[in-house]
């Protein structure tokens, strides 16, 4: 056993190396400088049949092995790290889930053009609150019968917006953590699917990276990948394979930098001989070469294990972690060998030094790789109860004010939106021909118009006063408006530490919605939010909302509610709020015939290391009742 690649592998390497040196190397500097995607080169890669290397020929692929694919990424990255990740993200992140989990129709429709290189793929998992921990995914896909309604967003998505086909992960069953995540195939161009800005990155600048924004995107039922709830499994197995691609990319970047440094060290003469002949530099080169050989064996071995369908998760993590760690070291040494020259723009090693950094971060940070490796060698340790445990059981915090309608008026201009709001309030039964004095104590007020810091200068309190009169409401405020700005007396601020509002209508003007404030209005029958920041928490806690400047919206609302004299309001009748819908059980509970213990899937069985969310059917065969040790067969449906 010589641990060598085959002749076919080396032929493929030669072919891709030639392509990279001829097609990419001349433009690599300008791609980097201009943050530009190599459209032409990617197109040619497709024509050469390299965009679907590891996929069967019947699906448009090249029918080669995983090692061939790793070599292709390595060779592209050897010239340009960005080009390497274009291929890696396309093949192992975007296309793999469709190949591995797609049904025949999905493969024909999506995998074939991807493998042929006619289209580009991307993978959307990361979110602001869900990176290493996919359980924090907040993008939702609501089952609407014929389709899923996708809402939310993804960040740092490689190949976006160039890619045509996106595998996107979204929550289909809330509150059960990773088991509630499903995978979908989403096409560019669908209504409501937009992109944020192309990020301006430190390195791999020829690869494009953007934000995905989903706003009521209708995803047809047939675009669900695998089954509902399998998303996390799909994501994790995809990332296992993706690590081989990133490991190969890191290896390629380091290899390129090493070769540059070796050549330079042989040319650059100091003290009368090439610096390569100086022991200090020669030792550096020896270390670099050794690290590269180590990394290469790890990467190729993981690729071969995957090809052989052996377990490769730990080995891929080791390869990714090690190759990227040494890529930083090797590119750093390369710049060092180049000296001041290497610090200049236009030098390949300068670009490679920057390109290398991302490889220790994406597709699982190297810290996460160590978690993966450690979990394989140490096993799953018992989790401490409470705090720091699995978040899959942790319930997502509900909006502080409970279940709200969350209707944000977006249609039309400011006037139309305000009129729609006034209409909605009247329809709900708020009678604006009657009113209460503006100085009614908050706790007894049926309605309150409340000012936040967003109200601006003191003159704008006139707008609040006018609106309060028109709405037949008392005046309240957020804490800073009373305490710091002193626009209203201290006994009129609403919040946990201040007055609690329990009436029927709360109109929050320029209030962002700090937790303390929201707790003070959780019993309000209706909450209206007016704020220019659409992302303010108040909008997640309101029944009706208008995103807009208070200076524009408040006078319009005042007019819409009527400026005439108000009749004194009769005693308040508290308006009903809709009942809080309860989450559906995730599966059936079962009762033990030996003692009456009930197994509830949402809770699991911590002592037996059964994770919360484990269905009874999925319990191991040797699981027994934690109370009386009867076997599974003694349980009946509750």
Partner 1 sequence: MYCVRKVTDDLYWVGANDHRLHLFENIHPIPQGVSYNAYLLMDQETVLFDTVDWSAYRQLAENLDYLLGDRPLDWLVINHMEPDHAASVEQILLRYPDVKVISSEKAFMLMRQFGFHPDLHECITVAEGDTHCFGDHTVTFVAAPMVHWPEAMVTFDTTNGVLFAADAFGSFIALDGKLFADEVDFDRDWIDEARRYLTNIVGKYGPHIQLLLKKASGILDQIKFICPLHGPVWRENLGYFVEKYDKWSRYEPEEQGVLIAYASMYGNTESAAQALAARLCEKGCSNVAVYDVSNTHVSYLISEAFKYSHIVLASVTYNLGIYPVMHNFLMDMKALNMQNRTFALIENGSWACKSGDLMQKFIDEEMKNMTVLNDRLSIASSMGPDKSLELDALADAIIDSMKEV
Contact 111, 98 (CB under 8 A): yes
628 counts as binding partner 1 under rule CB under 8 A:
yes
- Identified binder of partner 1 from the candidate list 197, 279, 579, 607, rule CB under 8 A: 579
105 counts as binding partner 1 under rule CB under 8 A:
no
CB atoms within 10 A of CB 39: 10
443 counts as binding partner 1 under rule CB under 8 A:
no
629 counts as binding partner 1 under rule CB under 8 A:
no
- Scanning 161-169, 179-187, 365-373, 578-586 for contacts with partner 1 by CB under 8 A, the matching segment is 578-586
624 counts as binding partner 1 under rule CB under 8 A:
no
591 counts as binding partner 1 under rule CB under 8 A:
yes
Query: Angle 341-347-351 (CA atoms, 0-180°, nearest 5)?
Result: 120
- Identified binder of partner 1 from the candidate list 63, 594, 626, 631, rule CB under 8 A: 594
Q: Tell me the closest approach of the beta carbon of residue 397 to partner 1, in angstroms.
A: 15
Which CB sits closer to partner 1, 198 or 632? 632
Which CB sits closer to partner 1, 539 or 635? 635
CB atoms within 10 A of CB 401: 24
- Scanning 28-36, 109-117, 231-239, 579-587 for contacts with partner 1 by CB under 8 A, the matching segment is 579-587
- Scanning 332-340, 407-415, 426-434, 630-638 for contacts with partner 1 by CB under 8 A, the matching segment is 630-638
**Neighbouring-strand partners of residue 168:** 124, 184
Give the CA radius of gyration of the chain: 30
Beta-carbon contacts of residue 584 (< 8 Å; ≥ 6 apart): none
577 counts as binding partner 1 under rule CB under 8 A:
yes
Strand locations in 452-566, DSSP E?
A: 474-477, 505-509, 526-531, 544-547
Which CB sits closer to partner 1, 381 or 580? 580
Which CB sits closer to partner 1, 14 or 629? 629
Contact 207, 32 (CB under 8 A): no
Question: Is 363 marked active-site?
Answer: yes
From 75, 127, 315, 363, the catalytic residue: 363
Which CB sits closer to partner 1, 437 or 456? 437
Please give the DSSP secondary-structure letter assigned to residue 584: P
Q: Nearest Cα to 536, choosing from 448, 447, 453?
A: 453
Q: Tell me the closest approach of the beta carbon of residue 111 to partner 1, in angstroms.
A: 45
CA dist., res. 488 & res. 455, Å (int): 13
Distance of CA 335 to the CA centre of its chain: 34
Q: What is the SS3 assignment for 234-282?
A: HHHHHHHHHHHHHHHHHHHHHHHHHHHHHHHHHHCEECCEEHHHCHHHH
Which CB sits closer to partner 1, 483 or 598? 598
Q: Tell me the closest approach of the beta carbon of residue 595 to partner 1, in angstroms.
A: 6
CA dist., res. 529 & res. 425, Å (int): 13
- Scanning 39-47, 415-423, 493-501, 588-596 for contacts with partner 1 by CB under 8 A, the matching segment is 588-596
Which CB sits closer to partner 1, 308 or 573? 573
Give me the sign of the Cα torsion angle 76, 81, 86, 91. positive
- Identified binder of partner 1 from the candidate list 573, 583, 609, 617, rule CB under 8 A: 573
CA dist., res. 484 & res. 487, Å (int): 8
- Scanning 26-34, 330-338, 427-435, 591-599 for contacts with partner 1 by CB under 8 A, the matching segment is 591-599
Strand locations in 429-550, DSSP E?
A: 434-435, 447-451, 474-477, 505-509, 526-531, 544-547
Matching residue, tokens 């592209």: 76
> Using CB under 8 A as the criterion, which residues of the chain lie in contact with partner 1 when the complex forms?
571, 573-574, 576-580, 582, 591-596, 628, 634, 636-638
Could you list the active site residues? 363
């Amino acid at each position: 056993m010589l641990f060598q690649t085959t002749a076919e592998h080396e032929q493929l390497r030669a072919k891709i190396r030639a392509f990279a040196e001829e097609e990419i190397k001349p433009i690599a500097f300008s791609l980097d400088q201009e943050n530009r995607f190599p459209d032409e080169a990617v197109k040619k890669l497709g024509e050469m049949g390299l965009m679907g290397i590891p996929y069967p020929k019947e699906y448009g692929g090249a029918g080669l092995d995983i090692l061939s694919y790793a070599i292709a990424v390595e060779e592209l990255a050897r010239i340009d790290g960005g080009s390497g990740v274009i291929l890696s993200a396309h093949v192992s992140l975007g296309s793999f889930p469709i190949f591995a989990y797609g049904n025949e129709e999905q493969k024909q429709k999506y995998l074939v053009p991807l493998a042929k290189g006619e289209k580009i793929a991307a993978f959307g998992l990361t979110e602001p609150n869900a990176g290493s921990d996919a359980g924090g995914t907040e993008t939702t896909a609501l089952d609407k019968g014929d389709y899923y309604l996708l809402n939310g967003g993804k960040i740092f998505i490689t190949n976006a917006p160039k890619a045509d086909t996106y595998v996107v992960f979204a929550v289909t069953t809330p509150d059960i953590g990773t088991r509630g995540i499903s995978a979908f195939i989403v096409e560019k161009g669908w209504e409501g699917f937009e992109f944020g800005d192309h990020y301006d990155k430190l390195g791999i600048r020829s690869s494009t990276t953007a934000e995905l924004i989903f706003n009521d995107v209708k995803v047809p039922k047939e675009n669900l990948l695998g089954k509902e709830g399998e998303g996390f499994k799909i994501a994790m197995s995809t990332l296992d394979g993706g690590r081989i691609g990133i490991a190969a990319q890191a290896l390629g970047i380091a290899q390129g930098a090493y070769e540059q440094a070796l050549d330079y060290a042989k040319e650059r003469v100091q003290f009368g001989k090439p610096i390569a002949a100086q022991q200090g530099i020669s030792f550096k080169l020896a270390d670099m070469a050794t690290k590269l050989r180590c990394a290469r064996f790890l990467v190729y071995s993981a690729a071969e294990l995957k090809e052989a369908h052996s377990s490769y998760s730990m080995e891929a993590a080791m390869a990714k972690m090690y190759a990227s760690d040494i890529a930083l070291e090797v590119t750093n040494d390369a710049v060092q060998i180049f000296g001041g020259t290497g610090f200049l723009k236009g030098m390949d090693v300068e670009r490679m030094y920057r390109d290398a950094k991302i490889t220790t971060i994406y597709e699982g940070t190297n810290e996460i790789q160590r978690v993966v490796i450690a979990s394989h060698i140490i096993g799953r340790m018992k989790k401490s109860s409470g705090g720091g445990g699995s978040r899959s059981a942790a319930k997502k915090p509900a909006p502080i004010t409970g279940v709200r309608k969350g209707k944000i008026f977006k249609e039309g201009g400011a006037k139309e939106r305000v009129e729609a709001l006034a209409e909605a309030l009247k329809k709900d039964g708020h009678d604006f021909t009657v009113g209460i004095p503006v100085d009614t104590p908050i706790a007894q007020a049926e309605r309150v118009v409340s000012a936040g810091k967003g109200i601006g200068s003191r003159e704008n309190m006139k707008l609040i006063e006018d609106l309060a009169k028109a709405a037949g409401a008392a005046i309240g405020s957020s804490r800073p408006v009373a305490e710091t700005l002193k626009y209203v007396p201290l006994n009129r601020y609403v919040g946990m530490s201040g007055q609690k509002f329990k009436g029927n209508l709360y109109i929050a003007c320029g209030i962002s919605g700090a937790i303390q404030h929201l707790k003070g209005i959780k019993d309000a029958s209706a909450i209206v939010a007016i704020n220019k920041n659409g992302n303010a928490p108040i909008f997640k806690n309101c029944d009706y909302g208008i995103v807009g400047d208070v200076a524009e919206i408040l006078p319009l609302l005042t007019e819409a509610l009527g400026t005439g004299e108000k009749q004194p309001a009769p005693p308040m009748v508290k308006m009903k709020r809709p009942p809080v819908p309860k989450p559906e059980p995730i599966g059936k509970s079962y009762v033990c015939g030996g003692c009456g213990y009930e197994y509830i899937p949402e809770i699991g069985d911590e002592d037996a290391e059964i994770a919360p969310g484990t269905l009874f059917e999925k319990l191991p065969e040797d699981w027994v009742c934690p109370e009386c040790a009867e076997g599974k067969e003694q349980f009946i449906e509750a």
